[in-house]
Amino acid sequence: MSSVYCALVHHPVVDRQGEEVTTSVTNLDVHDIARSARTYGLRGYFVVSPIEAQHPVVQRIVDHWCSGAGKHRFPERGEAIALVRLCSSIDHAIAEIEATEGKTPRLVVTSAKSGRNRISYAEEAERLRSESRPTLLLFGTGHGLADRVLQRADAFLEPIQGPTDFNHLSVRAAVAITLDRLFAVKSSANNPI
């Protein structure tokens, strides 16, 4: 089984016009994605931002829930937030995984857009079960991951699609759905007793 990590990338991502930009870190993304990561057994959640001035904001959230007042009131929240790793680039996240796991992670990217060479969730789930290398799942902010990130990927997951043509999931929802599709435990609710 692969050790799986996720990263929320604030740079390089693109804006509505397709220009490369850096987005701001948001409190909700730190919280909610950490909780999904903990629920589905990820080893770490990297918040990738080159803006050093934003790092103390994330660090304050981590400290509040992991060692501050929040730890005593909601210890389970601290357990999730403890997965958060702050770093300034995707390469730093890769280096941290290499240092921990002793192997370079596979990069798996996500996007709302369909296109060539996408792989299904079933294929990726199967791969994760047999893979000895760690895996880093990359999620974008803004209007998605920059092409130069997508081009580095070892695998590109197919987009999540509902039955409508509305294609504007929040990244928090996209992370939770992706993790559920990759790691969900089969329900026995409909099985005869």
Q: Which residue, judged by CB position, is nearest to ligand SAM in the bound state?
A: 140
Should residue 148 be labelled a site residue for ligand SAM when binding is judged by CB under 6 A?
Answer: no
Q: Are 45 and 34 in contact (CB under 8 A)?
A: yes
CA dihedral 173, 175, 181, 183 (to 10 degrees): -130
Q: What does the alpha-carbon distance between residue 85 and residue 139 come to, in Å, rounded to a whole number?
A: 15
Distance of CA 15 to the CA centre of its chain: 19
Should residue 160 be labelled a site residue for ligand SAM when binding is judged by CB under 6 A?
Answer: yes
Least distance (Å) from ligand SAM to the CB of residue 5?
A: 15
Of the chain, the end-to-end C-alpha distance in Å amounts to 31
Should residue 23 be labelled a site residue for ligand SAM when binding is judged by CB under 6 A?
Answer: no
Least distance (Å) from ligand SAM to the CB of residue 160?
A: 4
Query: Binding string, 104-143, against ligand SAM, x = CB under 6 A?
Result: ------xxxx-------------------------xxx-x
Among 144, 156, 176, 182, binds ligand SAM (CB under 6 A): 144
Angstrom distances, CA of residue 38 to CA of 1, 41, 126, 161, 183: 17, 5, 21, 24, 12
Binding region for ligand SAM (CB under 6 A): 110-113, 139-141, 143-145, 159-160, 167, 169, 171, 174
